[in-house]
A and B are shown apart, each in its own frame.
Chain A
Amino acid sequence: MLTSTRRRLLRERLFVGLCASAVVIPLLVLALLVGHVALAGLGRIDWAFLSGYPSRRAATAGILPAMVGSLYMIAITAALALPVGVGAAIFLEEYGARSRLAAIIEVNIANLAGVPSIIYGMLGLGVFVRLMGFGRTLIAGAATMALLVLPVVIVSSREALRTVPYAMREACFGLGATKWQAIRQVVLPMAAPGILTGTILAVARAIGETAPLVVIGALAYVTFLPTSPTSQFTALPMQILNWVSRPQEAFVVNAAAGIVVLLITMLVLNLAAILLRNRLQKRVY
Chain B
Amino acid sequence: MPTTREREPARPAKFSARGVMAFFGDKRVLHGIDLDIPAGEVTAIIGPSGCGKSTFIRCLNRMHELIPGARFEGTIELDGSSIYGREIDPVLLRRRAGMVFQKPNPFPTMSIRDNVLAGLRLTGSLDKTRAEEVVEFALKSSALWDEVKDRLKQPGIGLSGGQQQRLCIARALAVEPEVLLMDEPCSSLDPVATARIEDLIHELKSRYTIAIVTHNMQQAARVSGRTAFFLQGELVEVGATDRIFTAPTDSRTEDYITGKFG
Q: Which residues does A use to contact B, with CB under 8 Å?
A: 98, 165, 167-168, 170-178, 181-182, 185-186, 189-190, 283-285
Contacts and interface: CB of A to CB of B under 8 A. Distances in A.
Contacts of B119: 175-177
A181 B123 CA distance: 7
A52 B248 CA distance: 92
Nearest to A174: B99
Interface residues of B, number: 31
B175 A175 contact: yes
Given A167-B101, A175-B171, A185 B122 contact: yes
Contacts of B103: 167
Contact of B122 (A167, A172, A283, A285): A172
B61 interface: yes
Interface stretch (B8-16, B87-95, B195-203): B87-95
B109 A175 contact: no
19 contacts: A171-B101, A171-B171, A172-B118, A172-B122, A173-B63, A173-B94, A174-B172, A175-B95, A175-B123, A175-B171, A176-B91, A176-B94, A176-B123, A181-B122, A186-B107, A186-B118, A284-B108, A284-B109, A285-B108
B168 A285 contact: no
Given A174-B99, A182-B122, 7 more contacts: A170-B105, A171-B105, A175-B171, A176-B91, A176-B122, A186-B122, A285-B156
Contacts of B98: 174-175
Nearest to A192: B109
Contacts of A178: 91
Contact of B95 (A165, A176, A189): A176
Contacts of B25: none
A173 to B, nearest CB: 6
Contacts of A168: 105, 107-108
A186 B172 CA distance: 16
Contact of A181 (B101, B105, B124): B124
The binding surface of chain A is classed by DSSP as: helix
A262 B171 CA distance: 51
Of all A-B residue pairs in the complex, the 6 with the closest CB atoms, nearest first, are A176-B95, A175-B119, A285-B155, A174-B99, A177-B122, A176-B94
Nearest to A184: B122
Contacts of A185: 118, 121-122
Interface string B105-130: 10111000000001101111000000
B108 A175 contact: no
Contacts of B192: none
Contacts of A283: 109
Nearest to A186: B107
A113 to B, nearest CB: 27
Nearest to A176: B95
A181 B155 CA distance: 21
A173 B123 CA distance: 10
A186 B118 CA distance: 9
A89 B153 CA distance: 32
B157 interface: yes
Contacts of A285: 108-109, 155-158
B247 interface: no
B1 interface: no
Nearest to B174: A175
Nearest to B120: A175
Interface in B146-183: 155-158, 168, 171-172, 175
B137 to A, nearest CB: 16
A174 B122 contact: no
Contact of A177 (B93, B109, B123, B172): B123
Interface string B69-95: 000000000000000000000011111
Nearest to A171: B105
Given A186-B109, A285-B158, A174 B121 contact: no
Contacts of A186: 107, 109, 118, 122
Given A182-B122, A185-B122, A177 B108 contact: no
Contact of A170 (B92, B101, B109): B101
A102 B52 CA distance: 32
Contacts of B61: 174
Output the residue of A98, A172, A175, A178 with the most chain B CB within 10 A: A175
B105 A167 contact: yes
B259 interface: no
Contacts of A173: 63, 66, 94
Interface in B37-76: 61, 63, 66, 68
Contact of B63 (A165, A174, A181, A189): A174
Contacts of B121: 185
Contacts of A172: 118, 122
Given A186-B107, A190-B109, A175 B158 contact: no
Nearest to A178: B91
A175 to B, nearest CB: 4
A68 to B, nearest CB: 37
